[in-house]
Amino acid sequence: MKTKNLLLIASVSIGLGSLMTSCSKEEGCTDITAENYNANAEKDDGSCTYAVTPTPATSNIVTITDGGSGTGTTTWTSDKIYVLDGLVFVNSGQTLTIQPGTVVKGKPGTGANASALIVAKGATINACGTSTNPIIFTFEADPLDGSVPASTKGQWGGLIVLGDAQLNTVPSTQNIEGIPTSETRGSYGGSNDMDNSGSLCYISIRHGGTDIGAGNEINGLTLGGVGSATSIHHIEVTANADDGVEFFGGTPNLKHILVSNCGDDSYDYDQGYRGKGQFWVAIEDANSDRGGEHDGGTNPEDGLPYATPMIYNATYIGNGSSRAITFRDNAGGEYHNSVFHDFGKGIDIEDLASGEDSKARLDAGQLKLADIVMSAIGQDVVVDNNAVDLSAHASVTGLSTANAGITATNPVPSSSLGTGTASGDAWYDNATYLGAFDVSASNWAQGWTLTFP
């Protein structure tokens, strides 16, 4: 062999390789970017040293590693910066409390080296910031001084919450994507739709979505089998490389959610999500995919119960070329009093030759669109996946194509877009306006988010 590659040196260093037979070449640091680069060296000996980027020499940085024992029941305080090194779990039975104003950072790394905070099934997280003092999740090298471009994506993992509510999969419990099943704390799903994982509010989750393995990026906020007793409101997910918020089954109810500049879909559900939603905002950048990607089941695709979330007052603003929503794999679900603006394509509902699809849910009234403004949509306002028009379908009512006159920088309309019917369910705010913003109020996302600083 000509030259053994560098990897082999690593193998020898841990005593497994006995294959280094020729070391006659001069050894040294062969990396021209290193401080001690040796131009005469032909073979790297691993001695390279590098200029260390100055990290603020503050003593308030606490590195959190998991080691199997989780975070423990503890409080993370706002006077410190918590750095997640790898996957950090809140184990079942533990409660993690995070004070308002606390900064949590993830170390860089992909695959097995990805950093993320995972609230296991049976664990509790109490992380509530305030509108003036939000909790921030970002990546390690973010100095939080505005120097990192707002659109920077994929620099750490994300926040994952797992619960005991029902999925529509076989088997009825699953392991969250990217985490091998040998890590049993990645398990979610069960039979308690009222499960309580704690509360999350006024949290800004930024620049996450690293690849966790198998070509899967972590979502900004992943909710796997989370139950309806969990309180989730005022969450921002921005510049995530994958989806903003992804639901895997369960029944969590979410209000006042802002997803912006994400690399894939803004809202994604799968495995039979059956929660409630109100005031959901999506703002896309040029890399974003769909406003909503709504799947019913995966294994099996026709699993029960069907996905039937009820979403009121959504405002999804596209990038001019992406698609507003795709319903497929038997997904149902309802959007009421909502606005979809500036998408290349509108809403498509899968209608397969093989049958068992979201079109069947539309026909059965398990998929509804009511009081919807489809504003500045390039084509295919409401169609099936073969572009057959469905806008006059019995389950599609109150459809308008008026231009909403909103923008990514100002999603609050200047005049009323119309009036819909409020839900009547006590969980929802009594809002009959269309979209996530009341013409007469200010932008509720202003002040605590990166998107609307």
Partner 1 sequence: MKHVIFIFIGLLIATFSSAQGTITGKINSNEGEELIGATVYLQGTTKGTMADIDGNYRLENVPAGTHNLICSYISFESDTIGVTITNSETLTKNFTLGTSNMEMETFTITSKADRSNESYLLAEKKNAAFVMEAIGNKEMAKRGDGNAAAVAKRVTGLTIEGGKYVYVRGLSDRYSKTTLNKAEIPGLDPNRNSVQLDLFPTNMIENMKVIKTFSPDLPGSFTGGLVDIETKDFPEQFTFQFSTSLGYNTESSLKDDFLTYQGGGMDWLGFDDGTRELPSSTQNIPALFVDNERLQAISRSFNKEMDVSEKTSFLNQSHSLSVGNQKKLFGKDIGFITGLSYSKKYSHRATDAFTNRYELTGAVDEVDELNPIRTLTDTRSQENVLWGAFANVSYKLSPNHKLGFNFLRNQNGISTTTFQEGEIPSDQIGLFFQTRALEYQQNSLSSYQSKGEHYFENVKKLKVDWMWAWSQSNQIQPDLRYFSNDYTVDATGQNNYSIQAAIYPVPTRFYRDLDQTTGDGKINFEFNIAELEGKSSKIKFGSAFLIQERVLTENRYNYRSQGNLAYTGSVANYIGNANMTLPTAGNPVANYVYIEEASERRNSYGADQEIVAGYVMGDIWASQKLRMVGGARLETTNILVRSFDQSQELGELKETDILPALNTSYAITKKTNIRASYSKTLARPTFREIAPFATYDFSTNWIIVGNPELERTLVDNIDFRVENFPNFGEIMSFGGFYKSFSNPIELVFNTEAQNSELTWRNINKATVYGAEIEVKKQLGFLSDSVNTFSFGGNFTYVFSEVGIDAQEIELIKSQDPNASETRSLFGQSPYIVNIFLGYNNDSLGLSANLSYNVSGEKIAVVVVGATPNVFQQPVHQLDFNIGKKIGDKFSLKFKAQNILNPIVKQTYNYKDQEYIFNSYRRGAVFSIGLKYLIG
- In the window 347-406, what residues touch partner 1 (CB under 8 A)? 348, 352-357, 385-387
Contact 358, 350 (CB under 8 A): yes
Least distance to partner 1, CB of residue 225, Å: 12
Indicate whether 274 belongs to the interface with partner 1 (CB under 8 A): no
- The dihedrals phi and psi of 422, each to the nearest 5 degrees, come to -70, 160
Site size toward partner 1 (CB under 8 A) is 92
| Residue 30 vs 337, nearer CB to partner 1 | 30
Instruction: State how far the Cα of 172 lies from the Cα of 83, in Å rounded to an integer.
Output: 34
Residue from 23, 62, 170, 194 binding partner 1 (CB under 8 A)? 170
Indicate whether 57 belongs to the interface with partner 1 (CB under 8 A): no
Contact 451, 445 (CB under 8 A): yes
Contact 312, 336 (CB under 8 A): yes
Indicate whether 171 belongs to the interface with partner 1 (CB under 8 A): yes
Indicate whether 63 belongs to the interface with partner 1 (CB under 8 A): no
E strands, 145-291, are 159-162, 174-175, 187-188, 198-206, 211-213, 216-217, 221-224, 231-238, 245-248, 253-260, 267-270, 276-283
Site for partner 1 in 67-126 (CB under 8 A): 108-113
Q: 363: how many CB neighbours lie within 10 A of its CB? A: 15
Instruction: State how far the Cα of 59 lies from the Cα of 115, in Å rounded to an integer.
Output: 21
Burial of 287 (0-12, 13-18, 19+ CB in 10 A): middle
Least distance to partner 1, CB of residue 112, Å: 4
Here's the x/- map for partner 1, 427-446, by CB under 8 A: it reads as --------------------
| Residue 155 vs 315, nearer CB to partner 1 | 155
Q: How far is CA 20 from CA 13, 28, 147, in A?
A: 11, 16, 46
Taking CB under 8 A as the binding criterion, the range among 209-217, 273-281, 409-417, 435-443 that sits at the site for partner 1 is 209-217
Taking CB under 8 A as the binding criterion, the range among 72-80, 92-100, 128-136, 260-268 that sits at the site for partner 1 is 260-268
Indicate whether 56 belongs to the interface with partner 1 (CB under 8 A): no
Indicate whether 155 belongs to the interface with partner 1 (CB under 8 A): yes
Here's the x/- map for partner 1, 316-335, by CB under 8 A: it reads as -----x-x--x--xx-----
